[in-house]
Amino acid sequence: MVSGMQALDKKLLRDFRRLWLQALAIAMVLACGVAILLTAFGMHSALTDTRDAYYERNRFADVFVEARRAPQSLLPEIMAIPGVVTAEARVTGAAILDLPGRTETATGRILSWPEGDDPLLNVPLLRSGVPPRVERPDEVMVTEAFAEANGFEIGDGFTANINGQARDLTITGTVLSPEFIYTIGPGALMPDNEGFGIIWMTEQAVAAAFDMAGAFNAVSLRLGADAREAEVLDRLDTLLEPYGGLGAYGRDRQQSDSFVSAEIDQLRGMAMVVPPIFFAISAFLVGMVMSRIVALERSEIGLLKALGYSDLEVLAHYMMLAGLIALFGIAIGWGAGTLMARGMALQYARFFDFPYLLFRVPAWVYAMSGLVALVTTLLGAVRAALAASRLAPAIAMQPPAPPRFRRSAFDGLMRGMRLSQGTIMVLRSMIRWPVRSALTALGLACAVSSIVASSFMYDALDEIMDLAFYQANRQDAMVLFTNDLPETALAEVERLPGVLQAEPQQFHAAVLRNGPREKTVSLEARHPDASLSRVIGADGQPIIAPPGGILLAERLAGHLELAVGDTVEVEFLTGRRETHEMLVTGLVEQYFGLGAYVDAGFLDETFRQSPRMNVANLIVDEAQLDALHARLQDLPALSGLIMMTDTRRGFMDTINENVAIVNGVYATIAILITVGVAYNAARIQMSERARELASLRILGFTRGEVSAILVGEIMLLAVIAQPVGWLLGAWIARAMSNAFTSDLYGIPLVLEADSFAYASLVVLFACLASVLVVRQRIDRMDLVAVMKTRE
């Protein structure tokens, strides 16, 4: 039987060469699933390994907390907390920066650098130069991204307004820090490496600048493996409460790590949602092709059975043919996925300011993606292979019995509509093979859904832009103050150059609790008549927090299991540091952060204080922006400035760049799916109906009329597939929206009509092009040879 198996092997290779175009179309669809799975897990693994290695090597802390002013003598008590391995105190503060060649106001965060040694925790990685020296209090190190964005080199300088005093600083080194992989300024929505920087000065210089001699206002902790973080946080808060502690938090709430971890989680979600679609389509295509092969090779199967080949050998032969297609697709997917994963991981590493990239796609990812692709392909082929193995030799050697037709109400309807003969043939073919027609339409619907699902992201981001930047936040700039100021100071703000309108606002760190559930948030307070910064509901209408009540973002309410009418405990971490019960009066759909909102007047009454503010929202005359920035750089009470016009522009530029790439990728994927489904369906139709089409040509039908039968059926199925694809795309978009939502941001499910139209046009044109390629075979058809083939 060895020679016999060799004969089957030769037939296997011959069949694969004959079907190479159809096999390639299927393999490309399968490769898409493998490549996306490999890319998602590859990037996930690369970012996770790089982040974990970076954190470990540079001793990234596990717990963080800030306070108003705590004595150094408190540090031993912090170290004595069970589970604490290392504790490091430091001094930090805000500064207004006057950068050479830049008219806009820039801000920075000052951090103390320990004297005589590197920090114990959150160790920056020196990229160039040297650390600042104790004997030179005006020497500083800055983050590499800040230096590159502003064109700084070692030895360059800039001026900083630190606690009301102008200091000329000299850059001695550039660093990367595990604490600032993703750097966002106070109140900002996106990184601005040119306008916001992290600056390290010697501990002695920073302590003197902020009047912190013998004290600290920030501390980081490294915990042991057996430490209970919740207990450490409670003990730490208790120790720092008399000194203005702002609430300890774990690494998961550290701003930089939150963004990095959220992106890593999204990659895992993408791997769970998208690849199964491609594997399912590939299985369907393989099933279609294998069923047709078995139907065409009935006599060969009969001969094989008559010569002594067993059912198992015949089954294995056709399964191996499907396996070859799968291996072809897996090889393409592995190659493309590895390149895509490496390229995208490098982009992520640069975007997140990692010092290096540990790119290693685990072997199990290759094995898993290959195994899933192979199994789904074999499952698609198993029905046809079993049918081949079960054919008895005597039956297989005979032509299949022609299908039996019965007139139905549908035939009467077509006759009554006076449809052309070609149209009737198209419709009868679809009715004759309803399952195959339905699966073909479903495959094309999946192509439509891939574009709809990708387009939703652009629509969602457009909705976020409109709501966050044009309806909720309509100010040109936000001025952030170091401490709370009386609202009477707003008159001075209004007198600044170019200020046309100014409104006060308050932000307070607070812990919201409902039983065992709690969340630390930034609580916002504004007046009912505020027009520059507003709370906007899902219907686009402003929502005003009534006195005595609190508005919560829907995602925040979900975390706390609160509904309208419930009471929430609010522990303020600023001001008088009091705890109050507040009534939940409304829920708000919000896309950035987890917001909580109260009436400013009610909050002032609650704190028993005169009206206060720590943020001023401004409308500014663009013609006087330079004068405004020049004046702001001299304000000692200023801790930050957010130019909302620049933020809007940067956010939109980033969206347009990234979404264009994503839409291009998914359009390509949709075209590959369409080509795989439409080309294979047309080839099968051509082989099945060759005798029928040849008969029509002999009877006098033109090539166009005959071609319309082949093209018409596939295109009609493509049209039928559109609404199914729209619904499937909407479902996938919802799954992606849920997978991408985190505490940092929410992705709304927004689907516009033009997205559906774009998806349909791409798929219909790709489908038409694929069918027209097969249609050319009609022109080359040898009518005599086709008519000699037996039914």
pLDDT in tens, 406-421: 666 666 666 666 666 6
pLDDT (tens digit per residue) in 645-677: 777 777 777 666 666 666 676 677 777 777 777
448 and 582 co-located in one domain: no
Judged by phi (left if over 0) then psi (alpha if -120 to 50, else beta), residue 528 lies in alpha
- Which of 225, 254, 283 is the C-terminal boundary of a domain? 254
Give the separation between CA 117 and CA 59, rounded to whole angstroms.
15
Give the pLDDT confidence score for residue 786 in this predicted structure. Answer: 52
Give the separation between CA 641 and CA 479, rounded to whole angstroms.
5
Q: Residue 557: which CATH number?
A: 2.40.40
Identify the band that residue 2 occupies on the pLDDT scale cut at 50, 70 and 90.
Answer: very low
294 and 240 co-located in one domain: no
Position 343 in a domain: yes
**Mean per-residue pLDDT, 242-270:** 81
CA within 13 Å, CB half, 789 = 16
Cβ density class 523-537: b for 16+ within 10 Å, e for less: bbbbbeebebbbbbb
Give the separation between CA 98 and CA 160, rounded to whole angstroms.
6
Position 628 in a domain: no
Give the separation between CA 30 and CA 275, rounded to whole angstroms.
9
Strands 165-176 and 139-143: parallel
Cβ density class 210-240: b for 16+ within 10 Å, e for less: bebeebbbbbbbbbeeebebeebbebbbebb
426 and 354 co-located in one domain: no
54 and 105 co-located in one domain: no
288 and 391 co-located in one domain: yes
User: Could you tell me the residue range of the domain that residue 704 belongs to?
Assistant: 415-474+645-791
Position 480 in a domain: no
Identify the band that residue 791 occupies on the pLDDT scale cut at 50, 70 and 90.
Answer: very low
Higher pLDDT, 581 or 708: 581
Phi, psi of 644 (to 5 degrees): -65, -30
Position 557 in a domain: yes
**Mean per-residue pLDDT, 700-712:** 71
3-state secondary structure of 310: coil
Element (H, E) at 63: strand 63-71
Position 247 in a domain: yes
Yes or no: say if 633 and 98 are a contact pair by the CB < 8 Å rule.
yes
Query: pLDDT above 90 covers what percent of the chain?
Result: 16
Phi, psi of 215 (to 5 degrees): -140, 170
246 and 304 co-located in one domain: no
Position 627 in a domain: no
Identify the band that residue 379 occupies on the pLDDT scale cut at 50, 70 and 90.
Answer: confident
CA within 13 Å, CB half, 68 = 11
- Least confident stretch, 620-624, 667-671, 694-698: 694-698
pLDDT (tens digit per residue) in 740-768: 666 656 677 777 888 888 888 888 888 88
Phi, psi of 298 (to 5 degrees): -55, -45
Give the pLDDT confidence score for residue 678 in this predicted structure. Answer: 78
114 and 40 co-located in one domain: no
Give the separation between CA 616 and CA 487, rounded to whole angstroms.
10
3-state secondary structure of 590: coil
- Least confident stretch, 368-382, 478-492, 520-534, 696-710: 696-710
Give the separation between CA 37 and CA 267, rounded to whole angstroms.
10
**Mean per-residue pLDDT, 121-133:** 91
pTM: 0.72
Across 621-777, the runs of DSSP E, i.e. the strands, are 638-643
Position 483 in a domain: no
- Which of 369, 400, 431 is the C-terminal boundary of a domain? 400
149 and 204 co-located in one domain: yes
- Give me the residue label for tokens 């801790």: 639
The pLDDT mean for the chain works out to: 81
pLDDT (tens digit per residue) in 534-575: 887 766 778 888 888 898 888 888 888 888 889 999 888 877
- Which of 207, 226, 254 is the C-terminal boundary of a domain? 254
3-state secondary structure of 780: coil
Phi, psi of 757 (to 5 degrees): -65, -45
CB-based contacts of 298: which residues, under 8 Å, 6+ apart? 391, 396, 397, 398, 399, 400
Give the pLDDT confidence score for residue 1 in this predicted structure. Answer: 42
CB-based contacts of 750: which residues, under 8 Å, 6+ apart? 456, 459, 460, 462, 463
Cβ density class 734-759: b for 16+ within 10 Å, e for less: ebbbebbbbbebbbbebbeeebbebb
158 and 65 co-located in one domain: yes
Higher pLDDT, 411 or 218: 218
Yes or no: say if 112 and 206 are a contact pair by the CB < 8 Å rule.
yes
Structural domain total, the chain = 4
Give the separation between CA 54 and CA 256, rounded to whole angstroms.
13
Sequence-ordered alpha helix ranges (H) in 102-175: 144-150
**Mean per-residue pLDDT, 9-32:** 77
214 and 79 co-located in one domain: yes
Give the separation between CA 266 and CA 746, rounded to whole angstroms.
12
Higher pLDDT, 324 or 671: 324
Identify the band that residue 29 occupies on the pLDDT scale cut at 50, 70 and 90.
Answer: confident
247 and 331 co-located in one domain: no
- Give me the residue label for tokens 């799975």: 37
Residue 28, token pair as written in the block? 């490309």
Position 588 in a domain: yes
Asked if pLDDT for residue 271 goes beyond 70, the answer is no
Which DSSP category does 745 fall into? B
**Mean per-residue pLDDT, 579-594:** 82
560 and 668 co-located in one domain: no
Asked if pLDDT for residue 595 goes beyond 60, the answer is yes
- Rounded (5°) CA angle 638-642-645: 145
